[in-house]
Amino acid sequence: MSTVTSSGTAVVTFPADNQILVTREFDAPARLVWKAWTTPELVKRWWAGERGEVTSVEIDLRVGGRWRNVMSANGGFEVAFHGEYREIVENERIVSTEAFEGLPDAHSVNTLTLTEHAGRTTLTVLAEYPDQKTRDGHVESGMEGGMQESLDKLEQVAVSLA
Protein backbone atom coordinates (compact mmCIF):
# COMPACT_ATOMS: atom_id res chain seq x y z
CA MET A 1 0.00 0.00 0.00
CA SER A 2 1.40 3.34 -0.95
CA THR A 3 0.51 5.88 1.65
CA VAL A 4 -0.46 9.40 0.75
CA THR A 5 0.90 11.87 3.25
CA SER A 6 -1.46 14.70 3.97
CA SER A 7 -1.49 17.77 6.14
CA GLY A 8 -3.31 15.73 8.75
CA THR A 9 -3.44 12.01 9.11
CA ALA A 10 -6.69 10.16 9.01
CA VAL A 11 -6.34 7.16 11.26
CA VAL A 12 -8.55 4.21 10.36
CA THR A 13 -9.03 1.41 12.89
CA PHE A 14 -11.39 -1.53 13.36
CA PRO A 15 -12.65 -1.58 16.96
CA ALA A 16 -14.92 -4.54 16.22
CA ASP A 17 -15.35 -6.74 13.20
CA ASN A 18 -18.46 -4.88 12.08
CA GLN A 19 -17.03 -1.40 12.70
CA ILE A 20 -14.73 1.16 11.15
CA LEU A 21 -13.44 4.12 13.13
CA VAL A 22 -11.91 7.14 11.45
CA THR A 23 -10.10 9.74 13.58
CA ARG A 24 -8.60 13.11 12.63
CA GLU A 25 -7.62 16.30 14.42
CA PHE A 26 -8.42 19.75 13.02
CA ASP A 27 -6.88 23.11 13.81
CA ALA A 28 -10.22 24.78 14.48
CA PRO A 29 -12.88 24.93 17.19
CA ALA A 30 -15.65 22.36 17.18
CA ARG A 31 -18.35 24.82 16.10
CA LEU A 32 -16.50 25.48 12.84
CA VAL A 33 -15.93 21.79 12.16
CA TRP A 34 -19.65 21.32 12.82
CA LYS A 35 -20.42 24.08 10.33
CA ALA A 36 -18.20 22.50 7.67
CA TRP A 37 -19.90 19.16 8.31
CA THR A 38 -23.53 20.30 8.28
CA THR A 39 -23.73 23.20 5.79
CA PRO A 40 -24.65 21.89 2.31
CA GLU A 41 -22.56 24.46 0.38
CA LEU A 42 -19.52 23.55 2.49
CA VAL A 43 -20.14 19.78 2.36
CA LYS A 44 -20.16 20.10 -1.43
CA ARG A 45 -16.55 21.27 -1.26
CA TRP A 46 -15.16 18.27 0.61
CA TRP A 47 -17.41 15.23 0.50
CA ALA A 48 -16.10 13.77 -2.77
CA GLY A 49 -12.45 14.25 -1.85
CA GLU A 50 -10.45 14.21 -5.08
CA ARG A 51 -12.77 11.73 -6.71
CA GLY A 52 -15.27 13.91 -8.46
CA GLU A 53 -17.77 16.72 -8.12
CA VAL A 54 -20.53 16.79 -5.54
CA THR A 55 -23.64 17.59 -7.54
CA SER A 56 -26.18 17.69 -4.73
CA VAL A 57 -26.24 17.87 -0.93
CA GLU A 58 -29.50 17.83 1.01
CA ILE A 59 -29.41 18.12 4.79
CA ASP A 60 -32.52 18.23 6.96
CA LEU A 61 -30.72 18.44 10.28
CA ARG A 62 -33.26 17.24 12.81
CA VAL A 63 -34.03 13.88 14.35
CA GLY A 64 -35.99 11.95 11.76
CA GLY A 65 -34.76 14.31 9.03
CA ARG A 66 -32.98 12.94 5.99
CA TRP A 67 -29.75 13.65 4.18
CA ARG A 68 -28.70 12.79 0.65
CA ASN A 69 -25.44 13.39 -1.20
CA VAL A 70 -24.86 12.80 -4.90
CA MET A 71 -21.52 12.95 -6.61
CA SER A 72 -20.44 12.65 -10.19
CA ALA A 73 -17.29 10.57 -9.97
CA ASN A 74 -14.25 11.11 -12.15
CA GLY A 75 -15.14 7.95 -14.02
CA GLY A 76 -18.29 9.70 -15.22
CA PHE A 77 -20.76 7.70 -13.16
CA GLU A 78 -23.00 8.97 -10.39
CA VAL A 79 -22.96 7.71 -6.83
CA ALA A 80 -25.53 8.66 -4.26
CA PHE A 81 -25.71 8.09 -0.52
CA HIS A 82 -28.53 8.91 1.83
CA GLY A 83 -29.70 8.36 5.36
CA GLU A 84 -31.65 9.61 8.33
CA TYR A 85 -30.64 11.53 11.44
CA ARG A 86 -31.22 9.68 14.70
CA GLU A 87 -29.48 11.88 17.24
CA ILE A 88 -28.13 15.43 17.07
CA VAL A 89 -26.15 17.31 19.74
CA GLU A 90 -25.00 20.57 18.21
CA ASN A 91 -21.21 20.94 17.88
CA GLU A 92 -20.72 17.55 19.54
CA ARG A 93 -22.42 14.56 18.05
CA ILE A 94 -24.53 13.22 15.18
CA VAL A 95 -25.87 9.69 14.84
CA SER A 96 -27.23 8.95 11.39
CA THR A 97 -27.77 6.08 9.01
CA GLU A 98 -25.99 5.84 5.68
CA ALA A 99 -26.87 3.74 2.65
CA PHE A 100 -25.19 3.56 -0.73
CA GLU A 101 -27.99 3.74 -3.27
CA GLY A 102 -26.35 1.05 -5.37
CA LEU A 103 -26.73 -1.35 -2.43
CA PRO A 104 -29.77 -0.05 -0.57
CA ASP A 105 -30.15 -3.07 1.71
CA ALA A 106 -26.88 -2.57 3.50
CA HIS A 107 -26.82 0.50 5.63
CA SER A 108 -24.46 1.56 8.36
CA VAL A 109 -25.10 3.59 11.48
CA ASN A 110 -22.54 6.39 11.68
CA THR A 111 -21.65 8.31 14.80
CA LEU A 112 -19.79 11.59 14.43
CA THR A 113 -18.17 13.04 17.56
CA LEU A 114 -16.34 16.34 17.93
CA THR A 115 -14.13 16.93 20.97
CA GLU A 116 -12.57 20.36 21.32
CA HIS A 117 -9.36 20.94 23.26
CA ALA A 118 -7.41 24.21 23.31
CA GLY A 119 -9.02 25.44 20.13
CA ARG A 120 -8.38 22.20 18.23
CA THR A 121 -10.96 19.54 17.51
CA THR A 122 -10.69 15.78 17.33
CA LEU A 123 -13.25 14.33 14.98
CA THR A 124 -14.24 10.67 14.98
CA VAL A 125 -16.61 8.83 12.69
CA LEU A 126 -17.63 5.37 13.83
CA ALA A 127 -19.41 3.37 11.14
CA GLU A 128 -21.25 0.27 12.34
CA TYR A 129 -22.52 -2.38 9.93
CA PRO A 130 -25.02 -5.19 10.51
CA ASP A 131 -22.18 -7.69 10.34
CA GLN A 132 -18.60 -8.14 9.21
CA LYS A 133 -19.61 -9.41 5.80
CA THR A 134 -21.46 -6.21 5.04
CA ARG A 135 -18.59 -4.11 6.29
CA ASP A 136 -16.02 -6.02 4.29
CA GLY A 137 -18.10 -6.53 1.20
CA HIS A 138 -19.28 -3.01 0.68
CA VAL A 139 -17.27 -0.41 2.39
CA GLU A 140 -13.99 -2.00 3.18
CA SER A 141 -13.60 -3.02 -0.44
CA GLY A 142 -11.36 -0.08 -1.01
CA MET A 143 -9.13 -0.78 1.91
CA GLU A 144 -6.18 -3.04 2.43
CA GLY A 145 -7.10 -6.58 1.67
CA GLY A 146 -7.69 -8.89 -1.20
CA MET A 147 -9.79 -6.52 -3.22
CA GLN A 148 -7.34 -3.68 -2.95
CA GLU A 149 -4.47 -5.88 -4.10
CA SER A 150 -6.52 -7.30 -6.94
CA LEU A 151 -7.53 -3.88 -8.08
CA ASP A 152 -3.99 -2.57 -7.83
CA LYS A 153 -2.77 -5.44 -9.93
CA LEU A 154 -5.58 -5.09 -12.41
CA GLU A 155 -5.09 -1.39 -12.68
CA GLN A 156 -1.50 -1.90 -13.74
CA VAL A 157 -2.86 -4.06 -16.52
CA ALA A 158 -5.48 -1.45 -17.32
CA VAL A 159 -2.83 1.23 -17.57
CA SER A 160 -0.65 -0.94 -19.78
CA LEU A 161 -3.60 -1.49 -22.11
CA ALA A 162 -4.64 2.14 -22.26
Q: Which residues bind other proteins (CB under 8 A)?
A: 1, 4, 6-10, 12, 20, 22, 24, 26-28, 32-33, 35-37, 42, 45-51, 73-77, 79, 100-103, 123, 125, 137-143, 146-148, 150-155, 157-159, 161-162
If the CB atoms of residues 63 and 145 are measured against other proteins, the closer one turns out to be: 145
User: Minimum distance between the CB of residue 89 and other proteins, rounded to whole angstroms?
Assistant: 19
Instruction: Give the shortest CB-160-to-other proteins separation in angstroms.
Output: 9
* Residue 128 near residue 108 (C-beta atoms within 8 A): yes
Which among 123, 112, 110 has a CA at the least distance from the CA of 81?
110
Q: How far is the CB of 111 from other proteins (least distance, A)?
A: 15
Q: Taking the complex as a whole, how short is the minimal distance between the CB of residue 92 and other proteins, in angstroms?
A: 17
What DSSP element (H or E) covers 69?
strand 66-73
How many other CB atoms are there within 10 angstroms of residue 20's CB atom? 20
64 vs 120, which CB is nearer to other proteins?
Answer: 120
Rounded to a whole number of angstroms, the CA Rg of the chain reads 17
94-99: Cβ within 8 A, 24+ apart? 94/37, 94/38, 96/67, 98/127
Closer by beta carbon to other proteins, 42 or else 109: 42
